[in-house]
């Protein structure tokens, strides 16, 4: 079976566990892998920060009960969140860092800011 260098695609000779034709190719490959992983992490962080900013700005402007479309219009992505919390009463909150929301039906969300880590402030719907 013909084996090729994972970086440059050159035919590999010698040991069967060899993956690269040279140290240079090994370094290229690993650097590229790290860069791709760093880009992935950077992009997810950027979206999480954007989500957090949107929730934070809305709460600061006095919005507590708002339709999810209003968030999406500002660039919010519901795919990305940091953690989920279920209260004793069975309410499910989705958080982006200290800001979170729970669904109240028909696409509406009730927003909140958590006072402490992993904790949901008891809030009443307005
Ligand atoms: Zn190579």
pLDDT of the residue at 98: 93
Query: What is the distance in A from the centroid of ligand 1 to the CA of 1?
Result: 17
Query: What is the distance in A from the centroid of ligand 1 to the CA of 43?
Result: 30
Query: What is the distance in A from the centroid of ligand 1 to the CA of 38?
Result: 23
Per-residue pLDDT of 34-64, as tens digits, reads 999 999 999 999 999 999 999 999 999 999 9
Query: What is the distance in A from the centroid of ligand 1 to the CA of 19?
Result: 9
Query: What is the distance in A from the centroid of ligand 1 to the CA of 33?
Result: 15
Low-confidence ranges of the chain (pLDDT < 50): 122-126
pLDDT of the residue at 126: 41
Going from the C-alpha of 91 to that of each of 31, 97, 101, 102, the distances in angstroms are 45, 18, 10, 7
pLDDT of the residue at 52: 97
Q: Mean of the per-residue pLDDT values for the chain?
A: 90
Query: What is the distance in A from the centroid of ligand 1 to the CA of 41?
Result: 28
pTM: 0.73
pLDDT of the residue at 116: 66
Query: What is the distance in A from the centroid of ligand 1 to the CA of 42?
Result: 29
């Amino acid at each position: 079976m013909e084996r090729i260098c994972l970086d440059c695609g050159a035919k590999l000779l010698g040991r069967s566990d060899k993956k690269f034709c040279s140290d240079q190719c090994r370094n290229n490959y690993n650097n590229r892998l790290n860069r791709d992983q760093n880009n992935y992490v950077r992009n997810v962080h950027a979206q999480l920060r954007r989500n957090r900013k949107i929730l934070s700005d809305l709460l600061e402007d006095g919005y507590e009960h708002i339709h999810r479309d209003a968030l999406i219009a500002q660039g919010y992505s519901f795919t990305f969140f940091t953690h989920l919390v279920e209260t004793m009463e069975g309410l499910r909150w989705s958080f982006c860092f200290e800001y979170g929301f729970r669904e109240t039906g028909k696409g509406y969300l009730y927003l909140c800011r958590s006072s402490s880590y992993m904790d949901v402030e008891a809030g009443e719907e307005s």
